[in-house]
Structure 1
C-alpha cells in the first residue's frame, strides 16, 4: 500500500468518524431537545396547577375577607346600638340630676326660710327674756 491509498483510507476513515460524531451530536441534540420540551411541558402543567391552586386560594381568601367584613359590619351596628343606648341612659341620668338639683334648690330655699324663721323666733325669745329680766 502506498501513501496515496493510506491517505485516502485515513481521509475516508476520518470523514466517516466526523460523520458519526455529527450524527451522534445530532442524536444528542435531538434527545436534549426532547428533554427540554418534556421539561417545558411539565413546567406548563405545574404552572397550570399553580394557577388553579392560586385561583382557589384567592377565591377562598376573598370569601373569608367577605365573611370577616360582614362580621365587622354586624359588630359595628351592635356597637352603634350600644352607644345609642348608653347615650340615652346618660340623657336619663342627666335629667334625673337636673330634677335632684331642682329639689336641692327648693330644699335650700326652705332651709333658708327655716333659718330665717328660727332667727326671728330667737330674736323674739331674746326680746321676751329681756322684758322679763327688766320687770
Structure 2
C-alpha cells in the first residue's frame, strides 16, 4: 500500500468518524430538547396548580377578612352598648 492510499484511507476513516460524531451530537441534541420540553410541560402544570391554589387562598383570605370586619363591627357595637349601660349605672 502506498502513502497515497494510506492517506486516503485515513482521511476517509476520519471523515466517517466525524460524520458519526456529528450524528451522535444531533441525536443527543434531540434527546436534550425532548427532555427540556418535558420539563417545560411539568413546570407549566405546576404553575397552573400553584395559580389555582393561590386563587383559593385569596378567596379564603377575602372571606376571613370579611368575617374579621364583621367581628370588629360587632365588637364596636357591643362596646357602645356597654358604655351606654355604664353611663346609666353611673347616673343612678
Q: TM-score, normalised by structure 2?
A: 0.92
Structure index of larger Rg: 1
SS at match of 2:74: helix
Match of 1:6 in 2: 6
Task: Report the Cα offset of residue 21 of structure 1.
Answer: 0.4
Match of 2:71 in 1: 71
The unaligned stretches of length 5 or more in structure 1 are 94-135
**RMSD of equivalent CA atoms:** 1.0
How do residues 7-86 of structure 1 correspond to structure 2 at under 5 angstroms? Answer: 7-86=7-86
Cα deviation digits, residues 36-93 of structure 1 (max 9, x gap): 1110111111011001111101111111111121111111111111111111221x23
The unaligned stretches of length 5 or more in structure 2 are none
Q: TM-score, normalised by structure 1?
A: 0.65
Distance 2:27 2:87 in 1: 87
